[in-house]
Structure 1
Amino acid sequence: MSKFTRATAGILGAAAIMASSLIMAPAAHAASGGGCWEYSEGLREDYVDWKSCISSPRSGVGRPDAYVTLRAGHPACKIQLQTLETGGSRIMSQKIYDCPAGAVRNMHFTSPDFTGRDGRAYGNYTTIYWTSRHTATLANKSPWLKLP
């Protein structure tokens, strides 16, 4: 058997094991959705890229976070993470940070974990407030996370 055939057989075998474990997994107890969506805004000094994210570290618990990149020379700002529940927009978690003074790349920000309600979906909205200009980015949302 050639190296290529053995490698292909190994990959296919691993894929079959992974597929069977997914079929056998208890889907009724797993969160669905979540992840990150990435956004960009601004030119010159207010250039910002950020990812608004949400995940589930364990059953019934949501974890909001964000990753922010700011260009050197950006204006004074604040970063707000706010997690809302569908059907009424109840605030589940919130945290506001002062922006760092200077350039940062993929700086990680977190908001407190929260306990969700069965069958509800949650979105983490991340907003950059340019405090010196009294303006803000749009409140960009993570993908929805549905907790069991």
Structure 2
Amino acid sequence: MYSFIIFLALVLITSSFGATFRPGPWYDELIKPALTPPGWIFTPVWLTLYLMIAFAGWIVWQKTRFIRHPVIICWGCQLVLNALWSWLFFGLQSPALALVDILILLLLILAFIRFSWPVSRTASTLFMPYALWVGFAAYLNLGIVLLN
């Protein structure tokens, strides 16, 4: 159980870092792509996804217990890129840099799904909604790059 608290804490640190960079007047003035959801939807979706990310990381840790295992490396790297996106997009106001970040993030999420499948199908499955959401977020990010 102690190890789950560590994984949960790492995810909370990531979400806290991302939450320090919020949309503001700059974002409000951007032309948004079709299908941009209302702002209120992001909090419950990310809360759910962050819990799933922590649980998936903990599950594979329980199975591997090796920090250099490819699945653990993917998990840690995706967490870093997840945290960086808000800073790049909202903090630096650079949708283009954020787009590069989110595309690499999506690749790492897919790599986690691939590498975790033989270790734990549950962990792999927990990352599938995350991949879908980040894919959708990449569409939104690309749309902002192209429209502005």
TM-score range, shorter chain: under 0.3
TM-score (norm 1): 0.23
Q: Which has the higher strand share?
A: 1
Q: Which has the higher helix share?
A: 2
| Structure with more contact order per residue of length (Cα contacts < 8 Å, sep ≥ 6) | 2
Which protein shows a greater Rg? Answer: 1
